[in-house]
Structure 1
Amino acid sequence: MATMNIELQAVTKIVHMVSKCPHLEPIIGSNDKTLLTDGHIDVHSSESHSKATFDGRVHVQVKGRKLSGNMKLPRTFPITRTDLAGYLKNQGVLYFVVYINPKTGKALPAYALLNPFKLQQLIDGMASQKQVGVRIKPLPTDPERIEGIVKLALRSADEKPSMRVDSRELDFSRITVYTDGSLNLDTPVRLTRADHDYTLVLETSGGMVLSVDEELVITPAEYVGEVTTLTVSCGDFVFHHPTRRRVDKDTVELELSKGLKIQRSGTGQASTGSISLMMRETLRERFNDVGFYLACADQQVFSIDGVETAVGQAAADDQEELRGHFEYLTALMALCDHLGVDPSLVDLKPLEGKRGNQLLGLHGVMLRGEEINVEHDEPTGRILQPMGRWSLQLLVTQDTTDGKWVCRDLFHPELGLQFVMTGEDEAGETQICRVTPYEVLEREHLPFTLNLHLDNLVNAYSSIIEYPEAANFANTTVLNLVRAADLVAIRKPEFLEAALTLNSWLISKQGALPHHQINHWQIAARNGQLTQAERFEIRSLKGQASRNELDKPLLIEAACAILLGDEEEIAYCLSRLDEKQLVAFRDWPIWELHSPHTTPEDGQH
Structure 2
Amino acid sequence: MNSEMLGLSYLQIALGKTDHLVAHINSNDKEPSWDGDVEVYRKAGHVHAKADLILKVPVQVKGHCKPNLKKKSIKYSIQYADLKNYLATGGTIFFVIYINDSGDKAAIYYADLLPYDLKKHLKAYDGDPYKYKSIELKAFPKKKNDIADVFLNFTHHMNMQRASINSTPVTLESLYTSDPAQFSNIELTMGYSTTSRNYQFPFDYFFDHETYLYVKQPHNVTLPIAHLKNVETVNYTVNAPISVKSVVFYDHYTVSRTKNLSTINFGADIHQALQVGTQAKPDFHFSLSGSLSERIRDARFIIAVLNAQQYEINGGVLNFSGASSNSSGFIDVSSIQKQLDFLVGMQDTLNLLHVKKDLDPSLINEAGQNCLNILKIALLDKKSVKLVPSDSIFRPCHVANLNLLLCTLPIEGTDNFYDVYDFNQAPITFTTEDSSGNENPSSYYVQLNRNLMVWCDNIDYDIMLDTLKGIPFSEEYSQSLNTLILEMLHAYDCSNSTREDILSAVIELTDWVRKNDTFSLPSVTTINHYQAIKRSRKLTVSEQADLYQLTESPQEDEQIYVGAYLLLDSPVAATVHFSKLSLEEQSTFLGFPISHFMPNNH
One fold, TM greater than 0.5?
yes
2:382 match: 369
Paired letter, 2:8: V
Taking the aligned partners of 1:207 and 1:74, their CA distance within structure 2 comes to 44
CA distance in 2, matches of 1:384, 1:202: 52
Which residue is equivalent to 1:397?
Answer: 409
SS of match in other structure, 1:187: helix
Which residue does 1:574 correspond to in 2?
A: 578
Pick from 355, 361, 369: which aligns with 1:356? 369
Alignment match of 1:418 (pick from 404, 414, 429): 429
1:115 aligned partner, one-letter code: L
Which amino acid in structure 1 is aligned with residue 458 of structure 2? N
CA deviation map 1:87-108 (0-9, x unaligned): 64663653153869989x8x87
2:243 corresponds, among 208, 232, 241, to: 232
1:95 equivalenced with 2:71 (yes/no): no
The letter for the 2-side match of 1:169 is S
Return 328-337 or 563-572, whichever deviates more.
328-337
State the alpha-carbon separation in 1 of the partners of residues 377 and 500 from structure 2. Answer: 32
Deviations 1:100-148 (A, max 9, x none): 9989x8x877441352747987999xxxx99998422135546965753
CA offset digits 1:155-182 (Å, max 9, x no partner):
7998999999563436798878786747
* Equivalent in 445, 459, 462 of residue 455 of structure 1: 462
Matched, 1:74 2:70: yes
Q: Return closer, same or farther for 1:273/1:538 CA change in 2, 3 Å cut-off.
A: farther
SS of residue in 1 equivalent to 2:499: helix
The answer to whether the aligner puts 1:560 opposite 2:564 as a matched pair is yes
Q: How does 1:277-292 map to 2 (within 5 A)?
A: 277=287, 279-280=289-290, 282-290=291-299, 292=301
- Alpha-carbon distance in structure 1 between the residues aligned to 2:314 and 2:221: 49
On the 8 A contact 1:28/1:38 being kept in 2, the answer is no
Paired residue secondary structure (1:529): coil
- Equivalence for 1:438: 445
Max Rg structure: 1
- Rounded to whole Å, the distance in 2 between the matches of 1:37 and 1:580 is 82
How far does residue 587 in structure 1 lie from its aligned partner after superposition? 2.7
Report the 3-state secondary structure (helix = DSSP H, G, I; strand = E; otherwise coil) of the residue aligned with 1:433.
strand
Amino acid at match of 1:186: P
- Count of matched residue positions in the alignment of Structure 1 and Structure 2: 558
Aligned partners of 1:219 and 1:335: how far apart in 2?
Answer: 46
Contact 2:559 2:589 in 1 (8 A): yes
Counterpart CA distance in 2 for 1:13 and 1:397 is 96
TM-score, structure 1 normalization: 0.71
Q: Which runs of 5+ in 1 are unaligned?
A: 600-605
> What is the deviation of 1:339?
1.2
What code does the residue aligned with 2:535 have?
A: R
- Mapped contact 2:450–2:490 kept (Cα < 8 A): no
Distance 1:506 1:54 in 2: 71
Q: Which whole-Å deviations, capped at 9, do the CAs of 1:57-100 have from their partners, x for residues lacking one?
A: 72432538799xxxx9734475654x676864663653153869
Which residue in the other structure is 2:24 paired with? 26
Q: Say which SS state the counterpart of residue 356 (structure 1) adopts.
A: helix
Counterpart mapping for 1:591-602 below 5 A: 591-596=595-600, 598-599=601-602
From 528, 535, 551, the equivalent of 1:542 is 551
Q: 1:205 to 1:285 in 2, by over 3 A?
A: same
Task: Describe the shift of the 1:295–1:474 C-alpha distance in structure 2 as closer, same or farther (beyond 3 A).
Answer: farther
Equivalent positions of 1:38-437 (< 5 A) are 39-41=35-37, 58-61=58-61, 63=63, 74-76=70-72, 81=77, 88=83, 91=86, 94-95=94-95, 97=97, 110-113=108-111, 115=113, 117=117, 134-138=137-141, 141=144, 145=149, 148=152, 151=155, 165=169, 167=171, 168-169=173-174, 181=194, 186-187=202-203, 214-215=227-228, 223-232=234-243, 239-245=249-255, 247=257, 253-263=263-273, 274-277=284-287, 279-280=289-290, 282-290=291-299, 292-293=301-302, 296=305, 300-304=309-313, 309-311=318-320, 312=323, 314=325, 316-317=327-328, 329-344=343-358, 346-348=359-361, 350-373=363-386, 381-388=393-400, 390-397=402-409, 405-409=417-421, 411-413=423-425, 415-422=426-433, 425=435, 430-437=437-444
CA distance in 2, matches of 1:54, 1:440: 76
TM-score by length of 2: 0.71
Q: What's the offset of the Cα at 1:363?
A: 1.7
Q: Is the Cα contact below 8 Å between 1:189 and 1:219 reproduced in 2? A: no
Distance 1:139 1:363, change over 3 A: same
Note the alpha carbon deviations across 1:357-402, whole angstroms, 9 max, x for none: 12211221222133334899x9983322234565333233356999
Instruction: Read off the aligned partner of 2:347 and give its amino acid letter.
Output: M
Pairwise CA distance, 1:419: 1.5
Indicate how the Cα distance of structure 1 residues 299 and 479 shifts in structure 2: closer, same or farther if over 3 A, else same: farther
Cα distance between partner residues in 1 of 2:216 and 2:465: 58
Q: Mean Cα displacement is larger for which, 145-154 or 518-527?
A: 145-154
What is the Cα deviation at residue 439 of structure 1? 2.8
Contact kept in structure 2, 1:297 and 1:315, CA below 8 Å: no
Please state how far the C-alpha of 1:28 moved relative to its aligned partner: 1.0
Contact kept, 8 Å, 2:387 with 2:418, in 1: the verdict is no
In the TM superposition, residue 438 of structure 1 has moved relative to its aligned partner by 0.6
1:337 deviates by 0.9
Unaligned residue ranges in structure 2 (runs of 5+) = 43-47, 87-91, 125-131, 180-185
Q: In 2 relative to 1, CA 89–588 (structure 1 residues): closer, same or farther, beyond 3 Å?
A: closer
1:513 aligned onto 2:510: no
C-alpha distance in 2, partners of 1:299/1:561? 66
User: Within 2, Cα distance between the matches of 1:417 and 1:521?
Assistant: 33
Q: CA 1:58–1:540 in 2, change beyond 3 Å: closer, same or farther?
A: same
Q: What SS does the aligned partner of 2:493 have?
A: helix
Q: Is the counterpart of residue 11 in structure 1 residue 24 in structure 2?
A: no
Name the counterpart of 1:503.
510
CA distance in 2 between counterparts of 1:299 and 1:480 reads: 54
Q: 1:240 to 1:518 in 2, by over 3 A?
A: farther
- Do the aligned residues in 1 keep the contact of 2:378 with 2:385 (CA within 8 Å)? yes
In structure 2, the CA distance between the partners of 1:349 and 1:562, relative to structure 1 (3 Å rule), is farther
- 436-445 vs 311-320, which moves further: 311-320
Is the 8 Å Cα contact of residues 406 and 421 (structure 2) preserved in structure 1? Answer: yes
Q: Distance in 1 between matches of 2:119 and 2:492?
A: 60
Shift of 1:351: 3.4
Q: Which secondary structure state, in structure 2, belongs to the residue aligned with residue 366 of structure 1?
A: helix
Q: Please give the alpha-carbon distance, in whole angstroms, between the structure 2 residues aligned to 1:509 and 1:466.
A: 8
Distance in 2 (alpha carbons) for counterparts of 1:241 and 1:291: 15
Please say if residues 300 and 313 of structure 1, whose CA atoms lie closer than 8 Å, have aligned partners that are also in contact. no
C-alpha distance 509-259 of structure 1, shift in aligned 2 (>3 A): farther
* Deviation (angstroms), 1:7: 6.2
CA distance in 2, matches of 1:136, 1:101: 19
1:265-295 deviation digits (Å, cap 9, x = unpaired): 899xx99672444632x44344444554566
Distance change in 2, residues 1:468/1:514 (3 Å): same
Q: 1:261 to 1:488 in 2, by over 3 A?
A: farther
1:297-339 Cα deviation digits (max 9, x unpaired): 6765445589864443637336699877655543331221111
Q: Is the alpha carbon distance of 1:96 and 1:160 closer, same or farther for their aligned partners in structure 2, counting shifts above 3 Å?
A: farther
Cα distance change of structure 1 residues 355 and 541 upon mapping to structure 2, 3 Å threshold = same
Cα RMSD for the two superposed structures? 5.4
* C-alpha contact (below 8 Å) 2:407/2:423 kept by paired residues: no
